Structure 1
Amino acid sequence: MARYINPFTDWGFKHIFGQEITKDLLISFLNDLFEGEFCIASLEFKNNEHIGLTEDARKVIFDIYCTTNEGRHLIIEMQNRMQEHFIDRALYYSSRAIITQGQKGEWDYELMPVYTICFLNFEEAHLKERKFRTDLVLADRDTGQAVTDHLRIVYLTLPLFTKKEHECNNDFERWIYVLKNMNVFERMPFMAKNAVFRKLAEISDITALSKEEHEKYDESIKILRDNYATFKFAIKEGHDKGRAEGQAKEKKQIAQNMLKEGMAVSLICKMTGLDEQEVLKLKDE
């Protein structure tokens, strides 16, 4: 039996990075991610659910959304399975965090930076270079020079991080190694190097979870496994048209599993990419 929770379940990810009592873990990770660029002293969790600008506009639900002491907006997303338009989704999410900064009345359009950090448990086909970390900025096409630091999207493609424990040379690499392998560890590595990994071990120890936390984690694991099984079956069904049909079946099966567990329609839309009407139809069925 695993000793530590799987950080890439929806509940596990938020348990590690999305709580007030674990805020220092998120700050530590972000400071290691952006080392040499800026340093976060504190941050505040914001409402992760953003309604549309009009009644019929799509709602956005971030995994984790926060602002730093300097006013930077940070969106942290975790994605376990390939999604056809995930690049566009990250851009859409970033744009929503920009739009919400608009002010009524006199305003000179001064914006605070928006950073979207995406953990990918798959290789995104639209990222042409096969590398672990991809940083996207708004830049001049010819010179490559960034024209603003107010929009940044960072993709962390976990399958492409292949370093072993002894090969990790800094805390950022140690973070990625730990997160990628945490659910198979018998003992948390690097605790002697940085106290943050001792706290990570304490907060993620399955035996330390309350009964309610254990139930939520077990449910999150069940959904993850069901989704994976459905995904594998969809791939097995075939390619081209068969693959498209399989992916559609996968999304619907995942949505049905989530509906059975009483999950909110808005969250199901976010996690499957189905629109609200499709999910409501499945609910009626």
Structure 2
Amino acid sequence: METSVYIPIISDYGFKATFGNESDDLFLRTALQALIKSEIPIRQIKFDKNVFEALTIDSRSGIFDLSCTDENGTQFIVEMQLAHAPYFVQRMKFYALHKFNTLVERGEFDYVNLPKLYAIAFLAKSILPTTHFHTIANLRSEQGEIIDHQMSFITIELAKFDKQVADIETDLEKLVYTMKTLHTTEPTQYPDFWNEEWLKRAIEELDTRKMTPEERAYFARVTAANAEAVKAEKQKIKEAEIVIKKETVKNALQMGLTPEQAAILVSVSLEFVESIQHNFPTDQ
């Protein structure tokens, strides 16, 4: 808040204040229409209770699950992932198939009239072997023929988007550009399309100059909670890496490598190896 006028859309707070804004869903409706590349406007959106809370344990650092339904019954799952997630496609399938099963159960196992389901993921990093920033995937044959329209997976990789303001034309491009640059853009450099009503309303929700004391307090709590979650997750990763290195050093010593060789193999200090070697007999 001290370094930028606007809160990033891709932050937990920013994502919830824009995509998850239940009192004003114009931004969400316009964004969804652009993401699925539909010419038909989405008139209404109903926010669904998050059905994934009990399924996985997540630090919630950089990801927010949003589930909603339009006036035609079309189902949407929207997620934001900041960290590098090479297996995120598997998570998308997990969420989408769980939602699919829920729809089938509600319909008393009637597969005929199932509504369309879109699993949408915004990724800060690139994970797909594709060149375009926006990917729509469906079930297809080996000849590329579409087999199923009912379930679609949409991935937006922000890192792959590199268009300049002068080249931006579609609502999809305006959306992704805004998500990438809003929090780093000076007020004197705003592109003209940020005055379009759907983007203007969303941007106003992220303007720190217009926040009430209550909103500032809430933002501070969310930011602090996320920082703690990230810190805890990094600590877990660090501890896991140490355990792996210890086991690798033990294996190297058991195979007959000298402490010096083990240190080079595992990329640790000789002191690290010697401390493990010292306790080695009692660990077996």
Q: What TM-score do you get using the length of structure 1 for normalisation?
A: 0.71
Report the CA distance shift for 1:167/1:202 in structure 2 as closer, same or farther (over 3 A): same
- Residues 14-25 of structure 1: pairs in structure 2 closer than 5 A: 14-25=16-27
The match for 1:203 among 197, 202, 205 is 205
Distance 2:243 2:167 in 1: 40
Question: What is the Cα deviation at residue 220 of structure 1?
Answer: 3.5
Contact 1:49–1:59 (8 Å) recurs in 2:
no
Worse-matched range after superposition: 10-19 or 205-214: 205-214
SS at match of 2:84: coil
Which one has the largest radius of gyration? 2
Deviations 1:133-170 (A, max 9, x none): 121111112x2111111111111000110111112122
Q: Give the direction of change, closer, same or farther, for the CA distance of 1:104–1:161 in structure 2 (3 Å limit).
A: closer
Are positions 1:129 and 2:130 aligned together?
A: yes
- The TM-score normalised by the length of structure 2 is 0.71
Of 219-228 and 183-192, more deviation after overlay is shown by: 219-228
2:122 counterpart of 1:119? yes
Q: Give the distance between the partners of 2:165 and 2:212, measured in 1 at CA.
A: 30
- State how far apart, in whole Å, the 2-side matches of 1:228 and 1:51 are: 19
CA separation in 2, counterparts of 1:85 and 1:73? Answer: 23
Question: For structure 1, which segment, 209-218 or 103-112, has the greater mean C-alpha deviation from structure 2 after superposition?
Answer: 103-112
**In structure 1, what is the Cα distance between the partners aligned to 2:229 and 2:166?**
33
Deviation at 1:211, TM superposition (A): 2.1
Identity of aligned residues (%): 25
Q: How many residues align?
A: 235
Query: Is the 2:48–2:69 contact (alpha carbons within 8 Å) kept by the matching residues of 1?
Result: yes
Partners of 1:222 and 1:43 in 2: how far apart? 31
Alpha-carbon separation, structure 1, partners of 2:21 and 2:109: 34
Cα distance change on mapping 1:39 and 1:194 into 2, 3 Å: same
Question: For residue 78 of structure 1, what is the aligned residue in structure 2?
Answer: 80
Say if 2:169 is the partner of 1:166: no
Could you tell me whether the CA contact under 8 Å between 1:189 and 1:197 is conserved in 2? no
> Where does 1:46-195 land on structure 2 (aligned, <5 Å)?
46-50=48-52, 63-103=65-105, 107-110=109-112, 111-124=114-127, 127-141=128-142, 143-187=143-187, 188-191=190-193, 194-195=196-197
Instruction: Rate the CA distance shift 1:37–1:139 in 2: closer, same or farther, 3 A.
Output: farther
Structure 1: distance between partners of 2:208 and 2:47 = 25
Q: Which runs of 5+ in 2 are unaligned?
A: 246-284
Unaligned runs of 5+ in 1: 247-285
